[in-house]
Amino acid sequence: MFAFSEFRVAAGETNILQPMSGQFMSGQLNAVVGPSGCGKTTLVNSLLGLTDCEGEVRYNGAPVDLQSTTLAGRVGMVPQFSVAHEDLTVREVLCFAFDLTVSGSVKRDERVGDVLELVGLSEHADKLVKSLSGGQMRRLGLALELVSDPECLICDEVTSGLDPLSEDQILSLLRLLADQRNKTFLCIIHNLSKLPEFDSITVLYEGYLVFQGNYSALREWFNLSDPLKLYFVLSQDSPEAWAERWEPHAQDRVVEKTTTQTAHQPLPKPSAFRQLLTLIQRRIRLLARDTGYVWLLLALTFGFPCIVVIFALKGLPQIEGLALERTGSFIQQIQQNLRFQMDSAETASLVTGLIMFQVVLLTLMGANNGAREIASERHILEKEKISGLRPWCYSLSKLIFVGGIAIFQGVWMTLFVKIICQFPGSFIMQATILSLCCLSMTWVCLGMSAVFASTEKASLLSIYLVGFQLPLSGVVLALPDMVVWVLRPFINAFWSWSGYLVTMKDYQVYDAYRIRDTSWLPSENLAGLVLIVQAICGGVAVFWGVKKRH
């Protein structure tokens, strides 16, 4: 089924896999073995297009473009540990996997029920994934791929770490699927005592392909009395010598077992809209199940505005006094009355400080919304991309989900603080500015989560980004003009703060502030436009990070 010639994988000038030629046949259990670090996982990842490689790969006789999705739905990946959301039940995981990979024209419940019965998980269908045992997790990993009915499954150490009984049960299940449903398996294994159960065995040694054939041929080629001695025998000679010895047989190898290959018709794939809707529904359900995160989200959304109000309570009377619309004699009155000038400047400082406080808290909410969202489920994403998930659908679903949260947080912050503190100015414009503040930071941090596979790295960079907003905004600390104009386009806090403040330009509080600070401030429309551009840049990073390989 898979055939490869002059196939190699390199990292810079160093070959991870040396040039090799071979094949994995259909309807068989194909084992891939070799000492640790010999390139087993690299080989199968390369066949799936997860690692850049050179050479020709054919699938069922047709050339494969590993940069495209030609194998989606035809080849599935079963990782060593099942990659599924732990807060969903087994049935929910399979139903969502079905909706993401199979058209709605196929009966979902019937298909999921058949798969549960086949892998022996029917009685565990309503259990949460996190409550399953190791053997049950391996079965779930198989079930996740079987819902889309691929003809070939690549299993990465699917029996590793299991007790002997569970290992035997998994291998028996694979044999059943190969014999009765003509499924093809490429299995990376470590337990050499199980080699007699495989139809074909591929041996890698330090990046070289040194053997392919059945168990009898393996014993004869390496002069083995016990398969457990394979690695000892390999160590008796160099990998180059073993590869040179095998090379004449690589192209001419005859596979003893033949199967009747029937045309496999992959199940029809769902539309992009259905994938998008399924992803959003799954994320909402996961949010509802994660009570700890829900409480944190509620605490930030409703607690932060309360903190702003607490800091504002002492100055509320003065704020109300300066919330009056400007009169023709206001400037003269300030100039003539030094006490009033001092009080108004102090109140204006309080208002501008409270605006910046809201902005900083919203950027913190944005970092919390996006920093871990994609990086925390990167393994699930990569597996689902192999199964046919459109990367742009996944990206858009994340942008919609966290964007909706961010907009609500911005609107609520504006409404709550405005009602209590009686800030003057247009509510609609102020809510727009603060919503864009939270949205742009959320999407930028989401972009970091997509670009970096590590949740720790994405979270740390997001924290740094938020931490530098206040000092680099130029509002609190005076910065050199050159530094200000170089950094200003990237500083969310400046545009959010100034956009909000300018909405008060028709009121006395704005005049009081401008008496002591006449530096340039953008219009609210310009501030909103810059925040939109920052949000778009974050969105572009999301699409790029999700699409690229990790």
pLDDT in tens, the chain (550 residues): 677 777 777 665 567 788 888 888 888 899 999 998 888 888 888 877 777 777 778 777 777 776 665 676 678 888 776 678 999 999 999 999 999 988 876 788 888 999 999 888 999 999 999 998 888 888 898 899 888 888 888 888 877 777 888 888 888 888 988 888 888 999 998 889 999 999 999 999 998 899 999 999 999 999 988 989 999 999 999 999 998 888 887 766 544 444 444 455 667 788 999 999 999 999 999 999 999 999 999 999 999 999 998 887 765 555 555 444 445 555 555 454 545 455 556 667 778 888 999 999 999 999 999 999 999 998 899 888 888 899 999 999 999 999 999 999 999 999 999 988 888 889 999 999 999 999 999 999 999 999 998 889 999 999 999 988 888 877 766 667 777 778 888 899 999 999 999 998 887 777 777 777 778 889 999 999 999 999 999 999 999 999 886 6
DSSP letter at 325? B
Which residue, 316, 298, 522, 523, is CA-closest to 417? 316
* Residue the block writes with tokens 């545009």: 495
Pick from 203, 205, 201, 183: nearest CA to 256? 201
User: Do 64 and 57 touch, CB atoms closer than 8 A?
Assistant: yes
Alpha carbons 214 and 229: distance in angstroms, whole number: 17
Cross-strand bridge partners of residue 184: 152
Strand, helix or coil at 10? Answer: strand
User: Quick check: 87 and 130 in contact, CB under 8 A?
Assistant: yes
| Domains, the chain, with CATH or none | 1-74+151-258 (3.40.50.300), 80-149 (no CATH), 272-547 (no CATH)
Residue 516: predicted pLDDT = 75
Instruction: Mention every residue, 6+ apart, whose C-beta is less than 8 A from residue 296.
Output: 368
How far from 225 is each of 61, 150, 196, 246, 423, CA to CA, in Å?
Answer: 36, 37, 12, 20, 86
The structure tokens 């010999």 sit at 38
What is the 3-state secondary structure of 206-264?
A: CCEEEEEECHHHHHHHHCCCCHHHHHHHHCCCCHHHHHHHHHHHHCCCCCCCCCCCCCC
259 residue type, one letter:
T
DSSP state of 25: -
Residues 77/156, Cβ–Cβ less than 8 Å: yes
Q: Report the C-alpha gap between 181 and 121 in whole angstroms.
A: 19
Q: Where are the beta strands (DSSP E) in 302-407?
A: none
pLDDT score at 313:
75
- Rounded CA-CA distance 340/355 in Å is 22
197, with CB counted inside 10 A (0-12, 13-18, 19+), is middle
Give the pLDDT of residue 259.
42
Structure tokens at 300: 């930030």
Q: Residue 125, exposed/middle/buried by CB under 10 A (0-12, 13-18, 19+)?
A: middle
Q: CB count, 10 Å around CB of 317?
A: 8
DSSP 468-493: THHHHTSSSS---HHHHHHHGGG-HH
Cα(499)–Cα(233) distance, rounded to whole angstroms? 73
CA 29, CA 434: separation in Å to the nearest integer? 58
Residues 6+ apart with CB under 8 A from 187: 29, 30, 31, 32, 155, 158, 159, 174, 198
Q: Long-range contacts for 512-515 (Cβ within 8 Å, ≥24 apart)?
A: 512/322, 512/334, 512/344, 512/345, 512/347, 512/348, 513/345, 513/348, 513/349, 513/351, 513/352, 515/334, 515/341, 515/344, 515/345
| φ/ψ of residue 416, rounded to 5 | -65, -50
Helix (H, G, I), strand (E, B) or coil at 424: coil
